[in-house]
Structure 1
Amino acid sequence: MALLHRADIRPTKLDLLAAWLPSRGWYVGGAEVARVAAYRFDDPEGQVGIETLLVRGGDGPVHQVPLTYRGAPLDGADEWLVGTTEHSVLGRRWVYDAVGDPVYAAALATAILAGTGQAEEYFEVDGRREVRPPSMGITSDTPPVDVPPVGAVRRVVDGDPTLIVTDTVELAVIRRPGPAAAPAGATLTGTWDDVRAPLAYAAPR
């Protein structure tokens, strides 16, 4: 489960993305970035926030941007840093393009290969749990299997799709979800509004 906080965040996630996305070769869109939908994964250690945003820049296509939120810098991941924010509850947060974060790689592999799905999101309100309905759904097309430890992220090829190579699995993250030929491997599919499209793929090494 993902505990959310009613907090002020400066700059906002969309402000960060509006400044960062134009630097990506796979981004097609304007400077005004709007949220379309989102889903989250759980970090078993409870230390890293893992959220994937679907956003659109102006009249451009929908883009998938997985992010991780950390309370301290991730060693060796400067090239994946989107920026930092000040969170009124949690303090300074380092925001990363999650494709370079091993915690995201492990969560994505588990969601696809073990079928764990997305995290339930909730607020604590007067000691009660208030669940926030999801803005989209995700499903895996493969029978669940045991997922070996992913280990380190060994290589990232930043394109569309973005390839993530780890010790035990190769992952592909679709940056502009839509009709596309599927690479070999199990598929994570997303549904939002009236759209159904592949989001990511996984194949054991």
Structure 2
Amino acid sequence: MRFCHDRAMAVHHPATIAPTKLELLQAWVPHQPWTGNADTSVLTKLGSYRFDDPDGEVGMETHLLATADGQVLQVPLTYRGVPRTGAEDSLITTMTHTTLGQRWIYDGCHDPVYVNALVTTIVTGGREAALYAATEQGMVLEPATTHVRGSGSWTTAPALTVPVVCHEGTTTTISAGVEVVLPRVVVPVAPGTGLVLSGTWPGQETPCVLVRVDVAGDSAHNAG
């Protein structure tokens, strides 16, 4: 994994993209079963956080969106340079990127690279990746407005299985050898005990739970 200043590093390639990320989210999100009673007629971006792919192949970004009635939606996406085999059901759209070429955009909850990065961040006490822009002058750190942190202190992450995704109400559950519980409609809940990813973003300055990981037996022997 790439690190900078003891943090994972994600690289943003300035470019013109079509559709834009917000445009594809505005087209796709209102048709999803996990939006509950949220008014998705208007969606605006509050912030986003990224994880880094150790192999440098898959972009990972979780978007936090404000709905017309003031609710907050959480939408993980992955960006790939080639189609993911057998993942047609989780393909959202394709995107034209003037620097990277054609990109395939997926629902991140179904993408094993995203699930692994999410679980690893949570159980090892990791943070969002620092985002750098690739410019002619070199890498330039972009200011972050959304910050996340895992609560765990494990020294290693668990081996995961192929993710199986189900939706119940406004909650998405990912079964992958551990159980990942991801509320799509974020309700501010302060971090308590257990393995969680908590975060802050503009308008939410007090850390609240974004994702929870349930592990059979808690695997406490990994702590330290």
- Same fold, TM exceeding 0.5? yes
Alignment of 1:132-171 (within 5 A): 132-153=142-163, 155-159=164-168, 160-166=170-176, 168-171=177-180
Deviation at 1:194, TM superposition (A): 4.0
**Counterpart pick for 1:177 among 186, 193, 196:** 186
Q: How many residues align?
A: 203
**Counterpart pick for 2:208 among 160, 183, 197:** 197
Give the match for residue 19 of structure 1. Answer: 27
Identity of aligned residues (%): 38
5+ long unaligned stretches in structure 1: none
Q: Which moved more, 1:193-202 or 1:142-151?
A: 142-151
SS in structure 2 opposite 1:151?
coil
The TM-score with structure 1 as length reference comes to 0.91
8 Å Cα contact 2:151/2:194 also seen in 1: no
AA aligned opposite 1:18: Q
Distance 1:133 1:182 in 2: 25
Residues 76 and 181 of structure 1: is their aligned pair in 2 closer, same or farther, counting only changes over 3 Å?
farther
Distance 1:177 1:163 in 2: 14
SS in structure 2 opposite 1:115?
coil
Cα offsets for 1:26-57 (capped at 9, x unmatched): 22223332110100000011000000000123
Distance 2:132 2:109 in 1: 25
Distance 1:187 1:84 in 2: 32
Q: Which moved more, 1:24-33 or 1:101-110?
A: 24-33
Distance 1:175 1:181 in 2: 17
Cα offsets for 1:43-84 (capped at 9, x unmatched): 011000000000123234110000000112212222222111
The Cα RMSD (Å) is 2.0
Alignment of 1:1-205 (within 5 A): 1-27=9-35, 28-153=38-163, 155-159=164-168, 160-166=170-176, 168-180=177-189, 185-195=194-204, 196-205=207-216
5+ long unaligned stretches in structure 2: 1-8, 217-224
The TM-score with structure 2 as length reference comes to 0.84
SS in structure 2 opposite 1:122?
strand
Cα offsets for 1:124-168 (capped at 9, x unmatched): 233422101112111222223311222321x211243210011x3
Distance 1:199 1:119 in 2: 16
SS in structure 1 opposite 2:28?
helix
SS in structure 1 opposite 2:34?
coil
Deviation at 1:9, TM superposition (A): 0.6
8 Å Cα contact 2:191/2:198 also seen in 1: no
Distance 2:20 2:151 in 1: 34
